[in-house]
Amino acid sequence: MKKVMVVFGTRPEAIKMAPLIRLLKLDSDFETTVCVTAQHREMLDQVLDLFSIIPDYDLDLMTDGQDLAKLSAHILIQLTPVYMEVSPDLVLVHGDTTTTLMASLAAFYCGIEVGHVEAGLRTGNLKSPWPEEANRRLVSTLTSLHFAPTDLAKKNLMLEGVEETKIFVTGNTVVDSLFLAIGEIESNSSIRIALEAKFSMLSENRKIVLITGHRRESFGDGFLQICDAIKQLANQFDDVDFVFPVHLNPYVKSLVHSRLGDMDNILLMEPLEYLPFVYLMSRSELILTDSGGIQEEAPSLGKPVLVMRETTERPEAIEAGTVLLTGANKIRIVKSVSTLLTNTDIYSKMSRAHNPYGDGKSSGRIVSVIGAK
């Protein structure tokens, strides 16, 4: 029996690893252990509850005002004895968080192989996104099994010298999670009724623009421009609701509420659990975001995505026509949103574009690779 430990710390990691954990737990060929660092405590717990994931180890490392250096040191120090106790054959990490990097480094120090889910994403700019671009590059040097979501991600890894035999194109597990969530909403009438009641303030007759934002590289002028763009759009389109689940980061929360809290058609709310967020995505006309995962999920729902960043490690979506980059730039954000809200031909072209990130079977492909090694 192969011993696999899955390590993650944030809500996006949990969402993307949940379907993989589910399949590993169902397979008798694996002894699967789950460890969370709880880099994001409250937002992580929502996803653990939804997917019925009970961690075997919970490091509970989130503290107020913790900088990246302290968080990194704490993960490395506290995770190492867990590895020594469990002695896994393989550690699975995801993406590009601080947990991802330090879990990989701790595994390397302990002589344990690393499998990197969502490997090979690159912007080519170490400062955007920061620190994620550096994290993902560093993790690749410590990884034995690279699970790339697309052929382009595989190409990025090969250009950096990774052996082709160690790279496996699987699609993105976030599409697996999305399909699980949509299936739950559609098949469970009590869940659907509860979600409709939760968002009863939203009229069926009004379009919805869904907004998320939290990237550190936008802090300062970038976030000011984002807020000013949303305010201008809300004034310009008073028949549209702009729904903004505000990230818990103190800077983001304070700025957004101070700049946008006085508009009738801007609805600011606490961060949403995964099922309500998927429900809102399904009801939205379009999505304005700086998130990575939403670029992969929304196309499967036929929702155009405007990305408030200058670069993206997911250029496949731009090529496919499902995503458009606006940067954290007021003029470009206003122009792009206005176009999609008023031009049905452009909207239809984006909403019908094919999702390049998967078919909902990525987790199964990853499990098959691990089992064959």
Q: Catalytic site residues?
A: 96, 118, 132, 214, 216, 247
Give me 1's structure tokens.
């029996």
**366 neighbors 183 (Cβ within 8 angstroms):** no
Sorted by sequence, the CB contacts under 8 Å of residue 19 that are 6+ apart come out as 173, 176, 177, 180, 362, 363
Q: CB 192: neighbour CB atoms within 10 A?
A: 15
The closest of 108, 178, 176 to 139, measured between CA atoms, is 108
Q: CB 254: neighbour CB atoms within 10 A?
A: 11
Stated as kind and residue range, the H or E segment containing 263 is none
**6 neighbors 24 (Cβ within 8 angstroms):** yes
Which SS3 state, helix, strand or coil, does residue 40 take? coil
Concatenating the DSSP letter of every residue in 304-316 gives -EEE-SS--S-HH
Which amino acid would we find at residue 75? I
